């Protein structure tokens, strides 16, 4: 089950001998959350239960989906919705503590930058149904399965993490819309190449079971099962590669295996997805080729 709060992981990440079997949380059967946390079913992408994002329990004492120190959760792209922000007293206390520790050094600047977006009026404007990739269809994840952010202003993005749903795309959507699941990815790529976006790239999705990696990454689920190579269709590879190429270009990080990784490669991960049947050589060739195409088009 969950690890200690100070080990860099997120509570509820789960431990299982066949982890890697089913979406960044939820059960593979019909998208329900049955069995989560009791061993009766595998959540999507292999956890034995969902997981929150914070090693310090971000939602303690608050309603599901929001912690007192996190601002309101996002991902739905609501028009006009603004961060709740933190109270002035809490902000001043946190700022004073940071100044004391950092003596107005680099660490202080970084911490204040991360806090600043949470103050009222400092979030990127959002529109309901807005997507980050023009090919994607928007379906909002439950607010409890993400943390509202203002990336890359508050946290830089330099990773794509590849997941496998261990079930149908419809099942993954249902699971990610369940606020009790406490996990979701930004995107789901279907076997026919369709893309569903459930969390804005601005926001931190709870998909990697590692807080630092969640804050710096985009999570992409792929419809299918890790032990069924036929599930990884050419349409899926092409669509996902184009999606990843766009993310690499947008946030200016290399399309290589240091920056495009599997869930199983996240530090401390107990997952196996995308598994041995995922063709990394093919996928990365397609990502780099798409980036060259996009670069050529921009120069015209």
Encode pLDDT of 76-85 as tens digits.
Answer: 333 333 333 4
Same domain (yes/no): 202, 100: no
- Is residue 64 a part of any domain in this protein? no
Per-residue model confidence as pLDDT tens digits over 11-24: 333 333 233 444 66
| Structural domain harbouring 242 | 44-52+129-299
The verdict on 112 and 192 lying in the same domain is no
In Å, the largest CA–CA distance within the chain is 57
pLDDT of amino acid 10: 41
Are residues 108 and 243 both part of a single domain? no
In a domain, 29, yes or no: no
The structure tokens listed for 289 are 């080729």
- Specify if 149 maps to a domain: yes
CA 183, 189, 192, 196 torsion-angle sign: positive
The percentage of residues in the chain with a pLDDT greater than 70, rounded to a whole number, is: 59
Q: Decide: pTM greater than 0.75.
A: no
Looking at 122, 146, 169, which one is the last position of a domain? 122
- Do residues 147 and 108 both lie within one domain? no
Mean pLDDT on 230-236: 99
H helix intervals, the chain = 88-102, 106-116, 169-176, 211-216, 234-251, 280-299
Predicted confidence band of residue 102 (pLDDT cuts 50, 70, 90):
low
Instruction: Give the end of a domain, one of 95, 122, 149.
Output: 122
Cα separation of 148 and 150, whole Å?
Answer: 7
∠ at Cα 134 (131, 135), nearest 5°?
110
pLDDT digits (tens, 9 = 90+) for 162-218: 999 999 999 999 999 999 999 999 999 999 999 999 999 999 999 999 999 999 999
Task: Indicate if the pLDDT at residue 58 is higher than 90.
Answer: no
40/238: higher pLDDT: 238
Check whether the bond before 268 is cis (ω within 30° of 0).
no
How many angstroms separate the CA atoms of 163 and 160, rounded?
A: 10
Q: How high is the pLDDT of residue 128? A: 85
Do the domain assignments include residue 135? yes
Residues 289 and 223 in one domain: yes
Q: What pLDDT shows up at residue 287?
A: 99
Q: Both 87 and 171 in a single domain?
A: no
Is 286 a member of any domain?
A: yes
Per the structure, how many domains does the chain have? 2
What CATH number does the domain containing 173 carry? 3.40.80.10
User: What's the chain's Rg over C-alpha atoms?
Assistant: 19
Residues 236 and 196 in one domain: yes
């Amino acid at each position: 089950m969950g690890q200690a709060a100070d080990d860099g992981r997120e509570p509820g990440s789960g431990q299982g001998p066949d982890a890697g079997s089913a979406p960044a949380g939820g059960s593979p059967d019909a998208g329900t959350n049955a069995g989560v946390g009791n061993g009766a079913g595998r959540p999507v992408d292999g956890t034995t239960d969902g997981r929150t994002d914070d090693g310090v329990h971000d939602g303690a004492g608050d309603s599901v989906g929001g912690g007192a120190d996190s601002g309101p959760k996002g991902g739905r792209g609501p028009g006009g919705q603004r961060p709740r922000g933190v109270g002035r007293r809490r902000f001043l206390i946190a700022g004073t503590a940071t100044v004391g520790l950092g003596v107005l050094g680099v660490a202080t600047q970084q911490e204040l930058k991360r806090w600043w977006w949470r103050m009222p009026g400092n979030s990127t404007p959002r529109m309901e149904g807005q997507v980050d990739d023009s090919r994607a269809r928007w379906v909002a994840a439950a607010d409890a399965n993400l943390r509202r952010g203002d990336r890359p202003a508050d946290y830089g993005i330099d990773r794509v993490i590849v997941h496998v749903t261990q079930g149908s795309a419809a099942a993954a959507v249902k699971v990610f819309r369940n606020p009790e699941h406490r996990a979701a990815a930004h995107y789901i790529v279907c076997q026919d190449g369709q893309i569903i976006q459930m969390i804005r790239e601005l926001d931190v999705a709870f998909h990697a079971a590692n807080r630092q990696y969640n804050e710096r990454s985009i999570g992409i689920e792929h419809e299918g099962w890790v032990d069924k190579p036929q599930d990884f269709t050419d349409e899926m590879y092409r669509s996902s590669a184009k999606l990843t190429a766009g993310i690499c270009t947008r946030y200016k990080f290399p399309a290589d295996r240091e920056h495009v990784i599997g869930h199983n490669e996240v530090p401390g991960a107990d997952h196996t997805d995308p598994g041995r049947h995922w063709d990394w050589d093919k996928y990365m060739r397609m990502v780099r080729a798409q980036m060259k195409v996009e670069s050529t088009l921009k120069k015209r």
